[in-house]
Structure formats: structure tokens, C-alpha cells
Structure 1
Amino acid sequence: MSTTTDTDVLVIGAGPTGLLLAGDLAAAGIGVTLVERRPHTLGNLTRAFGVHARTLEQLDARGLADELLATGTTLTHMRLFSRLDLDLTRLDTRFNHLLVTPQYEVERLLERRAATAGVTFRYDTELRGLHQDADTVTADLTGPDGPLTLRARHLVGTDGVRSAVRSALGLPFPGRAAIRSIVLADVRLAKEPAEPFTVSGSGDTFAFLAPFGDGWYRVMGWDRTRQVPDSEPVDLDEVRDITRRALGTDLGMHDARWISRFHSDERQAPAYRVGRVFLAGDAAHVHSPAGGQGMNTGLQDAANLSWKLVAALRGEAPDAEALLDSYQSERHPVGAAVLRSSGAIVRLAMAHTPLTRAARSLATRLLNAIPPATSRAMGAISGIGIAYAPAPGTHRPSGRRAPDVRLREGRLYELLRDGDFVLISPEGAPPALPPTAPVTLDHLTRATWADPAKRATVLVRPDGYVFSAGR
């Protein structure tokens, strides 16, 4: 017999994206139920392992970044194709590096935060269908005790590349396979690599190498001459062979704790919102693992959507529908850009004809020689360079990332930990909000510039982007 349970927001999928989103909503006092088809287990194997600077800033705004940093190792340089050196220390952030740590460490912290905030978890539960009307979304589920019906004011699908939510909406997922028969292994090495983070190729092969920081290394490789189904067995000898041909050495890899074969698609849903239902993370976009942007993009989707749902559900937004629509207008272009950039890295790594290899050589030389171009590349990969279009009704640029400035009350990202907007004003200035602000003076944090020379008034969104700025 079915049981009906009501919640404000129903989140389908308890990966990093769903956990961050659910935790944000619950911390703001919104009722959240998080559904996951897997049993409640945290594994020790993962494909995602890199946390970029902008994601670390988002985690800092939730009080989690420093704890996560202790679980991994930081890399200050990324070397691509043996020639292009990306010096991450040039990024204007306190997280001017790449953190290498397994996805399960990110999930562990986000799950703890979500549980503490009051999220209701339903593991071993699967979505079978959904329908919506003007006021609610109804989800038909199957769990350990049989059929279950949940009604919510909004539903968010964060359930991965094979998203049941996306399928239930009838949304296409256009795209294509970017690269097939990628082998992946976590290994130990007898010899330390010259560069801790390496991507390079020989024409018929490419390999990727990065440390976890605890003696284990992630190796990813591809062989143009061996394109087989994902189900084809793979062993360490195959991984060694690809690595030797791509990097010139296999560094004495041994004791693999995990080996698999997979393929990578480039796909993006045309709509991230359909009525009262939203998509985020791999349910909305999927791309090659090059650049390590997958998990990071999903977490930033969640940070963008969560505060908008809070404002809409609290009735604080002057135009709630326009605010919710802005999730699509802001995040869909970011997803498309990540598809392009990760795809470009893969295609450069796969270059095998004299012409394409010459083009790769020229591109890397130009990037090395033109600092602004290198900075843009690092900004795109790290997320630091992401900016959104100006907010409706404002006349000054907004939607840019807010740096972690010092205020009299502390760092900006420490103040963002309350989950509210932060209004930064000069000393003695009366608090003032633009008429389009989806927040009231009762639901924001007021702050004063530490530098008395600063005279601007800036309203910073809960996701660390500028909503408006003026004198």
C-alpha cells in the first residue's frame, strides 16, 4: 500500500551534488528529503578525485574546506602535453592549487553536514515516475518497504548520467561518445614521476597521472589501437603498456587496488528546469574527465540553485519564477563551456596526425607565451573565472565572483557560512538593497569594509557571486 509524505524539496541522487544542495536547503530551514537508489554505504573507490579552487571556495562558505584539505594533497602546477605549465599559484584565491582527494571524502563531509542540518534520507529507494501540476511534484518511488509516493513543492534530479528524473521528464540528452575504452587504475609506483600531475600522449595513446597523496596514484589511459567495449577485461599489463607508450615509462606501477574500463560521453540536457523540476550535475551535463571538472561543475550547480530555491520558498523574491529561471540562464552556458574545454583537452591529447600535433604544439607555445591567455585557461578549469550575466534591473556589472575580501567582521567567505546574502557597506552608510534583490534586510548579514577607503556598497549572493554593486 502506498504512503504519501510531503516535503518542501525532494532531491533524487545522493552524490556530491545532491548532498550539497540538500544540506544548503535544510540549513536554511527548508524541508528536504534525499532519495538514493543505492544502499547507504560510502565506498573507497571513485572516478572523481580533483577539487578545484572555486569549489574549495564554495566549501569554505560552508565551513568544510579546511577539513577537506587535510584529506588529500595539493598540487600547485598542472603540466599538459609535456609543454604547457599551468601555475595555479597565480590564481587570486586562498585556494591557489588543485586538491587531489577522493570523491568519497567530499561525500563524507557533505553527508555529515546534510544529516546535521536535518535532511531526511531514503536510501535503497528508486524513482519510478513523476508528474507535476501548478503547485506540486509527485514522485512515485519504490523502497525497501514497497511503493511510496512523495509530494514536494520542487524536485531536483541529481541522479547522474542515467538520470531517472531526466527520463521521466522526457528530456533528450543529445551528444556523442567523446572517447571510448579508457582504462583506469589506482596503483603504487616504484619511481616518483618528474611531475606530480601529468597529461601527455604519443599520438596513438595518451595517459594521465596524479597522486592521491597517500602513496597511491590515479592512472588513466587510452589506446587508439585497442577500442573495445567497457565489458572487456582489463589488467595491469594493459595499463602499464599504455602508460609507457604515452609517457615513456610506467614508473614501475604495481599493486593495483582498482582497475576498470569505461567510456566518456559529451552530452547536455537542453533544459535544466521543467516546471517545478530541476536537473543538476551529471543529470544535466556529462563530459570527458580531462581537467577534472565533472564533480566540481555539479557542486557549483548545486550552490547556484540552492539559494534561489530558498528565496522562492520563503516568498522573498520579487519575481520567484524569474529567479528560478536564472538557474538555467546562468548554469547552462557554464555546462556548455565545460564540455568545450574538457573536449579540447582530450582532442589535443589524442592528436596523431602531423597537422593536429603541430596545432597542439602551437597552441601550447602560445598559451605559455601569453600570460592573459594562460590566466583565462586556469580561470576556466579552476572555476575562478566563471561569471554570470548582470542581474535583471541593475545597471552595473554583477554576477562576477566575489573574492574573499577582509571585512571588519572577518573574511567574506566566513560570513557566507550563515547561508545568507552579505551586504557590504562603507562605515556609517545606511543599509540599502536594490529593488530586485530576492532578500530582505532581516535575512542577510551586514558587514563593513575593513579598508575605510572603500566606499562602494556591494550585495553578495549566498553562492559567493556579486548580485549588485554601486556607490
Structure 2
Amino acid sequence: MSNSDKDQVLIAGAGPGGLLLACELALAGVPCTVLERRTTPSVQSRATGLQARTLELLAMRGMAGDFMRAGHPHDHYRITVGRARIDLTQLDTEYQQLGICRQSVTEEIFERHARSHGARIERGVEVQAVSQTADGVTVRTSEGGTVRERRAGWLVGFDGSHSTVRTAAGIDFPGRSYPYNVMAGDVRLGRKPEDGMLVKVSKEGMVVAIDFGDGTWRMGAVDRRQPRDLDEPASLEELRDMITRVFGYDLHPYDPTYTARFRFHNRHATTYRKGRVLIGGDAAHVHPPLGAQGLNISCQDALNLGWKLAAVIRHGAPDSILDTYEQERRPIARRVLGATGRAMHMMMTPAPPLRLLRRLVVPTVTSLPVTHRFLAGQISNLSFAYPDGDRSGRGGLVGRRLPNTSVRHPGGEIRPLYDLFRSGRFVLLDQTGGAVPPVHQPWAKLVEAVEVELEGPPELAAHDLILSRPDGYCAWAGSREDAVGLGRALERWCGAPETPGVVALRT
């Protein structure tokens, strides 16, 4: 056995999801190692868009500033179907944008934070086989031609759509593949598109054009013609031809720094967990990249799973808490798969009646205030919420994201709410002025209780106490008299308290 015998979690895949999960586990003090088949960090741009909700989640861990400095914001989407537009400037968040940041930079930032908390990242390590017992997982790896076995308590696969972990665990991955020829390239352009965040649709196919802000553009082209062999080199000449046929004129792409050929899929794993093996990101769900959802759903999978796995390992939370990972994340993935599938059909249909319907429906839907707000909330992921499984909260707040409102402390200091979430613990927000009665059976190692006054939405001020999960979603909200309800919520998420006593409120 190797040094990773000391690991409590092995993570397959050093993409954004796997690295962010390592950040969360290491922050919670859980020894973990990321195993990556590639021998060096990727330099490819690949997935590029960070939605508002992902930026909020990263702000809770002090990372959003890194991405704001490294990225290039776009505050809307333009679709050349009746000049449709989805505006992000009205979103209820400080991140009213799609943040464009190359995946290589995203991985660099996540890896730096993961290592700073004590996580290990090992490259040139390929997972070959997996077996598990009631108390752990054995992973057989190939490392520079040497076969080794590693033992850990848990294994999480963020190893992509061709996931070895998913296959080894016996998890099916049903769905479909799209019959399109798809290419992408990062290029400079002799003639710029009419907008820096543009979805161009024509009877020939579709092109997504994204301005990186440094003179380089991501050009993704989808051709209705039959797909080519993925092993066939992706040439600048072919990409130029595809772009020209969709735009109707030549944009003169040149100086490519990245080109690739793809196949679009719409697939969803039948389960996210088999015993001590879990999967997330593209290993659990893949879909066309319309709306820049894949990277974000993967990161949000990691942030949902991380604190739950840490609670089980470090604090004896019930094993059943891991089942809520799939219960909460599967409906969101299903919604994204359904929406991107419908959008793909609408944008790529060759049938004249449907193309006419597209020209009528898309501008109408994006121009009506109600549907526009709905689309913006879905695309930004801000409207995603989790079910209140035991109905322990009141006022419709439970399961919803808490906005980054200002909080006033008793001494008068005002800080952003998300600053209180840096530790990755539960946060109990006490708005009683210190008048809350003793709360028995504390979970002091998992809960940081803070006396504050919340500014912002009235629905926040309506509750004496608000319990936030480590990922910034409301776990419980109620009055100072409902200590039983608070205790029930804590026991649900954190298990039995480690010591009897009182949860001390502190500023």
C-alpha cells in the first residue's frame, strides 16, 4: 500500500470539480489526494464560463476575487434569432455576469487553494480498477508503468464523461449522442462578430462566439452534417469554413492557440453513489454546452458533496446525509439536461416550420419580463433551490440560497454575509440581540453562531434565527422559541451532538 493509506478520500480527476472538492475536504481537515492521469496541468481553455451562482459560492471561500481579476465579464447573451437578448444586469447578485475564464486558469486557482489547505495532487496516476468493502475502497492505479494499490475510506470520481470510476462501480450512463460535426477554436479574428457574447443561428447550423477580452475569441461551431471521426485533426481551415457558412461571411480566423473536435451528448448516470464510491460533474451528467452550464454544475456538485462527506468523516454525521447529495443535485442536472436538449433541438432543427416557430418563439420568450427573469435565473443558476426534506423551516426560505446581503454586528461593523462562510462550517445567524434562550445539544465543532442584524430582503429580517449550510443555502429558519426545530435541523444535517450544553452565540 502507498502513503495514501492515510487518505480518507481519493478523488479521481484534477479538473475543476475534482480540485474544488479537494479544496472543500482539505478546508474541513479531511486528508485527501487527487489522482490525475495527465502528467502536467492542462493548458487548454476548454470550459470557460462561470455563472453568477458559482461566483457567489467561490466568494464564500474567498476565491471569487481571483476569478474576477483573471476573467472577462459579459453581462448578457445575444442570440441572432429576432435579435433576442438575455440580460444579466438585473440579477439579484453582485455578480451580474457570465465570467469568462479559461479552464486552465480555473484549474490553476483551484489547485493552489487545494494545496494551501493540505490536499495532495498527484499526476501521471491512472485509475484502472476499483473494489470496495464495508469500510473502504481499494483503487488500483498505473503510475509510470508501475501498478499500485491505494486504500481510502471513500472514492469520488470527477474523471469526465468516460469515467473509469463510474464504469468500475457498475453505474450505467444512458442517454444519446447528437449527429453533428462540432468544432471549437481559440483564434484571433480579422473581422469581429457583432457582439462579444453571441449565439449565431442559421439554416447551416450554429456558432457560439465569445470574446476573451485579450484579442482572442472562442469560436464554437456546430454543423448539421454528419460528425467526423474524433481522431481526425481539427484544422483552422475546417473551422473557418463552418463559421463562414453560418455567418454568411468570412471572419478570417487566424493564429489559433487551441482547436478541438467534439461530439455532443445528453447522458445522465442512473445513480451518483454506489456504497463508498460517488461521482460528480461530467462523470454523472453531460449535455450540450449551450448556456455555459457544464463547468458550473460540476463545481456546484463539488460544493454540495464536500461538506457532507466531511461531516460524515470528521464529525460522525449519519451516512444518510450522502444520499441528499443525489437527491438535491439530480433534479438540477435533469433540468439542465432537459433545457439544453430542447434548446439544441430548437436551434438545430432543419425543418422549415420549426425554424419559423423558432423565429417567433425565441424573441417573444426573451422579451417578456416574466420569462426573461426566469431564463436569466436559470442560466445564472441563482434560481436553483433544494427541497426542504423534513419541512423544518418556515417562510419558504429553507433550501434557497442566501443572498450576499450586508450584516451589522453589535459593535456596528458592517460586513458582507458571505465573509462569515470562509470556514466552511454551518453559520447560525442570530437576530434576537442575544435574547435567544439556550439551545441544548450543541454541535459546536460544526456550527459558528454569530449575533447579527441582516440588511436587505425583508424575508431575512422576518426570522429570529437562520441556519445556513456551508454552501450558503438555508437549512432552517424560525423564531427564538423554536429551539426544538433548530435542534432537529442540526441533527438531520450533522448527526447527534458531540457534547451536551449550549450553543454559545458570539460576535
The match for 1:360 is 358
Contact kept? 2:180, 2:224, Cα under 8 Å: no
Contact kept? 1:425, 1:455, Cα under 8 Å: no
| 2:249 equivalent to 1:249 | yes
Write out the 4+ residue segments of structure 1 that deviate beyond 3 Å after TM superposition.
Answer: 1-4, 431-435, 450-453
The match for 1:57 is 56
The match for 2:436 is 430
Give the Cα separation in 2 of the matches to 1:191 and 1:28: 50
Amino acid aligned to 1:381? I
Q: Structure 1: which 5+ residue stretches go unaligned? A: none
- Output one character per residue of 1:179-229: Cα deviation in whole Å (capped at 9) or x when no partner: 532011111012332211111221222111001111100001122235322
Aligned residues: 465
Match of 1:418 among 420, 423, 439: 423
| 2:468 equivalent to 1:460 | yes
Match of 1:449 among 444, 453, 460: 453
| 2:332 equivalent to 1:334 | yes
The match for 2:484 is none
Alignment of 1:121-132 (within 5 A): 121-132=121-132
Alignment of 1:224-373 (within 5 A): 224-225=224-225, 227-317=227-317, 320-373=318-371
Range with bigger deviation, 98-107 or 176-185:
176-185
Give the Cα separation in 2 of the matches to 1:292 and 1:434: 45
SS of the residue aligned with 1:418?
coil
The match for 2:497 is none
Amino acid aligned to 1:357? R
The match for 1:470 is 478
Range with bigger deviation, 44-53 or 394-403:
394-403
The match for 2:207 is 207
Amino acid aligned to 1:449? E
Contact kept? 1:420, 1:445, Cα under 8 Å: yes
SS of the residue aligned with 2:303?
helix
Amino acid aligned to 1:445? E
Alignment of 1:13-412 (within 5 A): 13-39=13-39, 41-82=40-81, 83-144=83-144, 146-225=146-225, 227-317=227-317, 320-392=318-390, 394-396=392-394, 397=396, 398-409=398-409, 410-412=415-417
- Output one character per residue of 1:47-78: Cα deviation in whole Å (capped at 9) or x when no partner: 20111111111111111111111112100110
Aligned identity (percent) is 38
Evaluate the alpha carbon distance shift between residue 81 and residue 344 of structure 1 in structure 2; reply closer, same or farther with a 3 A threshold: farther
Contact kept? 2:49, 2:98, Cα under 8 Å: yes
CA RMSD of aligned residues (A): 2.1
Range with bigger deviation, 76-85 or 13-22:
76-85
Contact kept? 1:32, 1:119, Cα under 8 Å: yes
Amino acid aligned to 2:54? T
Evaluate the alpha carbon distance shift between residue 465 and residue 432 of structure 1 in structure 2; reply closer, same or farther with a 3 A threshold: farther
Contact kept? 1:434, 1:468, Cα under 8 Å: no
Contact kept? 2:178, 2:264, Cα under 8 Å: yes
Amino acid aligned to 2:420? L
TM-score, length basis structure 2: 0.87
Contact kept? 2:2, 2:150, Cα under 8 Å: no
Structure 1 residue 283 displacement after superposition:
0.6
